[in-house]
Amino acid sequence: MPREIAILDALVPNLLPVFLASVVVHVVLDRVMAWCGVYRHVWHPPLFRLSCFVCMFSACGLLVLR
Partner 1 sequence: MNFLDGLRREIVAWSKAEGPRWIFAFKTTVAVLLALAVSMRLELGQPVTAMVTVYIVMHPQTGMVLTKSLYRVCGTLAGTLASLALLGLFAQERVLFLVGLALWVGLCAAGAAVYRNFKSYGFTLAGYTAAMIGLPLVMQPTGFFNYAVNRATEVVVGIICAGVVSEVVFPRSLGDGIIKTMEERYARFMGFVTGLLSKSMTPREIDRMHLHVASNVVALESLRSSLFMEASDIRSRDLRLRRLNMDFMEMSTTFHSLCQILSRLTDPDAPAAPALASLGALLAEALAPECEPASGAECARLTARRLAEFRVDLPERESAILRECLDHAGHEARLDIETALDLVRRFVHEIHHYMRTYASLMEKAGPEKLNEVSFASRTDLLVALVTGVRTATAILLVSAFWIASAWPYGASAVMMAAIGTALFAPAPDPTLAIKTALVGTLIGFGAALACKFFILTSLNGIGFLVMGMAPFLLVGSYLALNPKLAMVGLGYSTMFCFMVSPANRMLYDPIISINFGTALILGVAAAALIFATFAPVTGGWMKRRTARMLRGQVEMACSCTLPHLGSRYESGTRDLLQRVAAKPNLQDVHDREIVGWTFVALEIGRAVIHLRQDAASVLLPQRVSAGAINTPRQIARFFGRPNQHNHNAALVTVEETIDAILSASAGEGVGEETVDAMRRMLTSLHLIRSSLLDEESILAATTSRPRGIIPGETSYAT
Partner 2 sequence: MKLQVVVRFVFTIAIFATAIFTGKKLWDRYMDSPWTRDAKVRADVVNVAADVSGLVDRVAVKDNQLVHKGDLLFVIDRERYALALSQAKARLSASRAQMGMKQQEAERRARVDVAVVSVENRENARSQADAAEAACQEAAVAVETAELNLKRTEVRSPVDGYIANLNVHRGDFASAGAAKLAIVDKNSFWVYGYFEETKIRLLHVGAPVEIRLLASDRPLKGHVESLARGISDHDNPVGRELLSDVNPIFNWVRLAQRVPVRIAIDNVPKSVQLVAGTTCTVIAKPRPSPPYRQATM
- Name the binder of 23 from partner 2, partner 1, none, CB < 5-8 A by kind: none
Q: Cβ 63 to partner 1, closest distance in Å? A: 22
Whole-angstrom distance, CA of residue 63 vs CA of residue 31: 25
> Sign of dihedral through CA atoms 62, 47, 21, 31?
positive
Question: Which residue from 2, 8, 35, 66 is in contact with partner 1, where contact means CB under 8 A?
Answer: 35
Please measure the distance between the N-terminal and C-terminal CA atoms of the chain and give it in whole angstroms: 7
Catalog residues that contact partner 2 under the rule CB under 8 A.
2-4, 11, 13, 15, 41-44, 47-48, 50-55, 57-59, 61-62, 65
